[in-house]
Amino acid sequence: MLDSYDAVVVGSGFGGAVAACRLAQAGLAVGVLERGRRYARGGFPRDWHDPLNGWVWQHGQGLFDVRPVNEVTVVQGAAYGGGSHLYANVHLRVPSDGFRTGWPAGYSRAALDPYYDLVAYMLDITPIREDQPLGLPPKTRLMREAADRLGRSAQFCYPNLAVSFKEPRQEHLNKFGVAQEGCRHCGECDIGCNYRAKNTLDLNYLAVAEQRGADVGTQCEVLRLDYDGDSYEIRYRDHVARQDRRVRAPAVFLCAGAVNSTELLLRCRDQYRSLPAVSNRLGHGYSANGDFLAFAMDTESPFEPWDGPTITTGIVYDRGAGEDRKWFIFQEGGFPREIAGLVQALGHRGGQAMDSARVWEDVAREIRELAEKRIASEGVVAADADSAVFLVMGRDRADGRVELMPVTHDLRVTWDVPGNLPLYDTEERFCADVAEALGGRLTLNPLWQRLRLPVAVHNLGGATMADDPAHGVVDGGGEVFGYPGLHVLDGAALPAATGVNPSHTIAAVAERNIEAAIRKLTSDPTWRAPERELATPVTDPVSALVIPTGGTAPPSSPAVGLRFTETMRGYVTRGTPAVGRLPRRRGRGPPCRYRGAVHVDHRHLVPRRLPHLRAAPGRGRGNGVRRGIHRPRRRRRQQRCVPPLQPRRRPGRPPDAVLAAVLRRRRPALPSRRVQGRTRPRHVRRLARHLHAVHGHPRGPPTRRRRARHRRSPHSRA
Ligand SMILES: Cc1cc2nc3c(=O)[nH]c(=O)nc-3n(C[C@H](O)[C@H](O)[C@H](O)COP(=O)(O)OP(=O)(O)OC[C@H]3O[C@@H](n4cnc5c(N)ncnc54)[C@H](O)[C@@H]3O)c2cc1C
Ligand code: SF4
């Protein structure tokens, strides 16, 4: 890499590849910094026995960047070509009504269609069809039949896929002169296609960029951006040379993926203070795109999820109006034959009642042990053909927040699970319908089933587009407010959930915005991508579907279980008031709202963390309050805790009564100050003391002393 360029692109996913390609085509000197590796043909990891051998970014810079950030598990790609190496190839457009709210001026489906067409041309997208060399795989036929059985054939479609369906095992050159093969229907799309049948970004956009002279540095991780009023200095770590380096450019295109771009900007604004004027809206507007993962076990006919590209079909659900509207698309998934044992292990365990409050580390360990046993007993090729994966994504509220913890600067993502629960519930019931239509039974993703932690592969938002800095971080062209030349062109800039798989929209928005940026950089108001002339209008299968008046039919599977949701309103006090005493004066500190939800499903109880404590609009957050919410890390510390918040006295049940009732079922023992050599946090001890006083010790009836303590407890006065 050189010391300076006309433009530097950070990341090489859907935003980065588009930016690099177009900047190079415009004749600018472009440097691309990508933290991941460049994978050669046949070079993707395939060690089925060692999950650390090349798979995970956190261990030896592998392909998958999996980050369990408190309220959501974020999955992103780390490779030259970004998420295109592990995505399921689906390219769909946001329907017209999806642009009505949240998007800045100038965005509509009609305005974006020419750029969608351009992306479709570059990635050569097409749906799976009967007349292709390998025809339709069994799972595709079964999904068609299931949609018919459910009366949803009018909402069934074959999505466009960025896959080459030419003759398998035969090499051909693509539009850009890069050698590819036809799809072998091996089902390994989500772990890197070793046959180059996926039209991944390194085979088209990035190939053109390099052909036009772009300078690419892989395994180069950007750590910090500084602005001197004229140009940007980018500090990055070269993982190959094991050195920290710097490069300068007047234009920077940040395309590190929604969570990573937001994190980098947050660190620059709050930790290094090198970009201090970035909007206060940074981190707001995060969306998990309604992602929901489930499995169906014991399907009537062999589903053979490893036969065919990972996703081949979709069924749209659209019902309700206003706030109550639910819009999502259901897609069948697939997985390689070799991990069928692991999926079956999920199914075997997922159906059983289990201790409700296992932390996610336990879940992961248990799955690993079960999978190992199964692999050991039956061998890796003992695949069960009758299991299916269900993937659902939809329009969620996009009201999550990516932020850095004070002092430690650890990343955390706050995700409004209770607020999005109606969508997740409908998605779950829809999955149950499909499982039944396939003659199987539904098994949920264990992290969701036990902890209500969604797994998000379609992360969006965090540095969203808006018309002014009071509502977003970048303008409608992707340029950061207050920092000329600094652009965000990836999923972070999208201001609302796309509902459908988002890559097509990320790339189309990047095409639109890089065109405007290049016109500015080159002072050529007529510049446009050379391929615009070649791109022809493409039909989007989702937009062509018929939604009946009044919406699609509701799911027939009943909503099973009980949910308690309570909202406390109060105010924040700093420090920890003594147990049994109310603060002397009311109204101290900013007012806040605290919403908690406890879900009890038909299989077992899931007490959930109480994650949402918000200061009133315009007021700051009290750190003391937020410290009270935490994820217990050990089994012995599983009590869910009420934070040190003093609620206003209200008639009725104590504010934590529902939670307490749930915890009482688990019969928490009187805590000792020291557990496994560690002192319990004070608020855990206080809550347990309170519960003990209220409900008595599980080993004996309430004593006079306990009753007296109960009377002194602030909660007893409600
Ligand atoms: C299993 C799976 C299946 C999916 N299937 C689909 C699908 O079928 N259709 C669809 O539309 N979407 C799908 N997605 C989502 C899709 O992959 C993402 O929405 C998309 O890749 C996001 O594009 P992006 O440009 O925002 O970021 P990315 O594609 O994630 O690219 C970001 C790049 O930046 C790099 N980077 C990050 N930090 C740094 C740094 N500090 N310095 C340098 N480089 C950095 C990363 O390594 C990465 O290469 C799937 C995702 C997963 C995980
Ligand atoms: S099914 Fe196999 S060959 Fe086809 S695109 Fe996916 S990984 Fe490549």
User: Residue 311 CA: which ligand is closest?
Assistant: 1
What single-letter DSSP state applies at residue 669?
P
Give residue 705's pLDDT.
73
Is the CB of 89 inside a 6 Å radius of any atom of ligand 1?
Answer: yes
Give residue 52's pLDDT.
77
Among 565-569, 663-667, 701-705, 709-713, whose mean pLDDT is lowest? 663-667
Give residue 677's pLDDT.
47
Is the CB of 195 inside a 6 Å radius of any atom of ligand 2?
Answer: yes
Per-residue confidence band for 566, with pLDDT thresholds at 50, 70 and 90: confident
List beta partners, residue 182: 168
Residue 9 CA, ligand 1 centroid: distance in Å? 15
Q: How far, in Å, CA of 23 to CA of 209, rounded? A: 8
Residue 268 in tokens = 């620059």
| Protein residue closest via CA to atom 53 of ligand 1 | 457
Is the CB of 39 inside a 6 Å radius of any atom of ligand 1?
Answer: no
Is the CB of 714 inside a 6 Å radius of any atom of ligand 1?
Answer: no
Residue 356 CA, ligand 2 centroid: distance in Å? 38
User: Residue ranges per domain, the chain?
Assistant: 7-56+70-168+184-533, 655-717
Give residue 380's pLDDT.
41
Residues 82 and 13: beta-carbon distance below 8 Å: yes
The CATH number given to 7-56+70-168+184-533 is 3.50.50.60
Task: Name which of 276, 216, 273 is nearest 31 in CA terms.
Answer: 216
> Rounded mean pLDDT of 410-433?
91
Per-residue confidence band for 504, with pLDDT thresholds at 50, 70 and 90: very high
Helix (H, G, I), strand (E, B) or coil at 402: strand
Q: How far, in Å, CA of 371 to CA of 376, rounded? A: 8
- The best mutation among 46, 125, 128, 189 to test binding of ligand 2, ranked by most ligand atoms within 8 Å of the C-beta, falls on 189
The type of residue at 158 is: Y
User: Residue 337 CA: which ligand is closest?
Assistant: 2
Residues 529 and 22: beta-carbon distance below 8 Å: yes
pLDDT of residue 194 exceeding 50: yes
User: Residue 32 CA: which ligand is closest?
Assistant: 1
Is the CB of 261 inside a 6 Å radius of any atom of ligand 1?
Answer: no
Q: Which residue bears the tokens 């457009």?
A: 93
Q: How far, in Å, CA of 261 to CA of 268, rounded? A: 11
Residue 352 CA, ligand 2 centroid: distance in Å? 34
Give residue 285's pLDDT.
96
Q: Which residue bears the tokens 């009187």?
A: 670
Total residue count of the chain as it appears in this document: 718
Is the CB of 390 inside a 6 Å radius of any atom of ligand 2?
Answer: no
Q: Which atom of ligand 2 is nearest to the CA of 185?
A: 1
Q: Which residue bears the tokens 């957050």?
A: 621
Helix (H, G, I), strand (E, B) or coil at 436: helix
- Give the contacts of 624 (CB within 8 A, at least 6 positions apart): 572, 573, 574, 575, 576, 644
The type of residue at 193 is: C
Q: Which atom of ligand 1 is nearest to the CA of 33?
A: 43
pTM of the model: 0.80
Is the CB of 88 inside a 6 Å radius of any atom of ligand 2?
Answer: no
What's the pLDDT tens digit per position in 260-288?
A: 999 999 999 999 999 999 999 999 999 99
Q: Which segment, 51-55, 182-186, 384-388, 654-658, is predicted with the most confidence on average?
A: 182-186
Distances (CA, A) of 555 to 95, 293, 364, 437, 594: 22, 17, 31, 12, 31
Q: Which atom of ligand 1 is nearest to the CA of 75?
A: 53
Give residue 563's pLDDT.
65
247 or 595, higher pLDDT: 247
pLDDT of residue 627 exceeding 50: no
pLDDT averaged over the chain? 83
Concatenated DSSP letters of 38-74: PPPTT-S---SS-TTSSSBTTTTS-SEEEEEETTEEE
Task: Name which of 438, 187, 146, 428 is nearest 298 in CA terms.
Answer: 438
Q: Which atom of ligand 2 is nearest to the CA of 184?
A: 3
Residue 511 CA, ligand 2 centroid: distance in Å? 27
Give residue 699's pLDDT.
47
Give residue 539's pLDDT.
93
Is the CB of 431 inside a 6 Å radius of any atom of ligand 2?
Answer: no
* Backbone angle region of 381, left / alpha / beta, with phi > 0 → left and psi within -120 to 50 → alpha: alpha
Per-residue confidence band for 27, with pLDDT thresholds at 50, 70 and 90: very high
- The best mutation among 73, 244, 260, 465 to test binding of ligand 1, ranked by most ligand atoms within 8 Å of the C-beta, falls on 260
| Protein residue closest via CA to atom 2 of ligand 1 | 87
- The best mutation among 125, 170, 181, 193 to test binding of ligand 2, ranked by most ligand atoms within 8 Å of the C-beta, falls on 193
Q: How far, in Å, CA of 65 to CA of 109, rounded? A: 32
Q: Which atom of ligand 2 is nearest to the CA of 164?
A: 5
